[in-house]
Amino acid sequence: MPFMLFFLLFANVTDAVCTDFGLRSGMITEQNPFMLYLFHHCKILFYLVKISLPLVLLAILKSKRAYSRFLTGLLTGAVVIYAGVLIVHVWWVVEWTISR
């Protein structure tokens, strides 16, 4: 369980940095209108929102003495989704590098 929490935090930070780079370079577009608004109006808030999501999950899990199956399922689902997000980011970097 601690590994999955660490991975989720790492993945969110990496996602935020890669998204920032991709948007600034014009390589990608942000599909989430709320995050696009934050990106253009307050980069600090953009990063805080991106990074706060796994921290909220961590706080919820820490508040429970025993992990429920539901919370464990949420964590596992989040890890799987963000693993996919990281794969997409690697793909963008490879594609961007090849096209230059």
- The per-residue pLDDT for range 22-31, each reduced to its tens digit, is 899 888 888 8
Which DSSP symbol is given to 26? T
pTM tops 0.85, yes or no: no
Instruction: Judge whether residue 99 has pLDDT over 90.
Output: no
Token pair belonging to 96 = 């961007």
How far is the C-alpha of 45 from the C-alpha of 69, rounded, in Å? 32
Contact residues for 54 (Cβ-Cβ < 8 A; gap 6+): 5, 8, 9, 11, 12, 78
- The per-residue pLDDT for range 68-92, each reduced to its tens digit, is 777 788 888 989 998 998 898 888 8
pLDDT computed for residue 66 by the predictor: 56
What residue segments make up the domains of the chain, in order of their start?
Answer: 2-99
- Give yes or no for a contact between 92 and 26, defined as CB atoms under 8 angstroms apart: no
